[in-house]
Amino acid sequence: GNSVTQMEGPVTLSEEAFLTINCTYTATGYPSLFWYVQYPGEGLQLLLKATKADDKGSNKGFEATYRKETTSFHLEKGSVQVSDSAVYFCALSYGNNRLAFGKGNQVVVIP
Amino acid sequence: GAGVSQSPSNKVTEKGKDVELRCDPISGHTALYWYRQSLGQGLEFLIYFQGNSAPDKSGLPSDRFSAERTGGSVSTLTIQRTQQEDSAVYLCASSPAGPYEQYFGPGTRLTVT
């Protein structure tokens, strides 16, 4: 089937620290991959995407590279800010562009 | 421009009652999706509309759940005889037809008491 696995548990880190959130996927065919973000009190927003192997998606200092050989799409940011505190969801699209999401990771950035 | 809107934003209902949740997609978006976000299950796909047709209903969890879309625009998700396990945030998203970004609404938080 088509599914996404994110690392367990919340992530707490200090401002200006390096952030990595792991994401691996299982899919038939060649899905597009996404990171969505949900800021407190707001709806889901697309953060970045990649549509084929070796593509790198980037936005707001965040990056993720579509790695077909390791079926991964890890999210990274070199220097986080307090305003990056949110829940981050990895997702893939398949079928009629429907999305399959990971469980999400709460990121808390401490000043 | 206007984004995806959903109503109500919060709904509290008694077990066994029926509820209707509404989604107004972005104008011109022919594809519409419903998802459910719950603590135990995370974000799950429910149903997909292309125009007024629903070619993919595979995510609906039981026959108590149904949805329709009229005029290629507004969609209503109906849950009959609500159960406590239906408590969740119901999200609607829309996009142009094809592999395009989905834009999400703010969701309806449903609480079944």
Q: What is the per-residue pLDDT across A11-61, written as a single tens digit (0 to 9) for each?
A: 999 999 999 999 999 998 889 999 999 998 888 999 999 999 999 999 999
**Residue A92: which H helix or E strand, with range?**
strand A86-94
Residue to substitute from A96, A101, A106, interface B, most B β-carbons within 10 A: A96
Beta bridge partners of A107: A11, A86
Phi, psi of B18 (to 5 degrees): -95, 145
Give the pLDDT score at A43. Answer: 87
Which residues 66-85 on chain A approach chain B with CB closer than 8 angstroms? none
Contact B77, B101 (CB under 8 A): no
Mean pLDDT, chain B, rounded, equals 94
Residue to substitute from A92, A98, A101, interface B, most B β-carbons within 10 A: A98
Task: Name the closest residue on chain B to residue A41, using Cα atoms.
Answer: B106
Percent of chain A topping pLDDT 70: 100
Q: Is the dihedral of CA B96, B98, B101, B102 positive or negative?
A: positive
CB contact under 8 A, B31 and A102: no
The pair of three-digit structure tokens given for residue A7, joined into one six-digit string: 């690392």
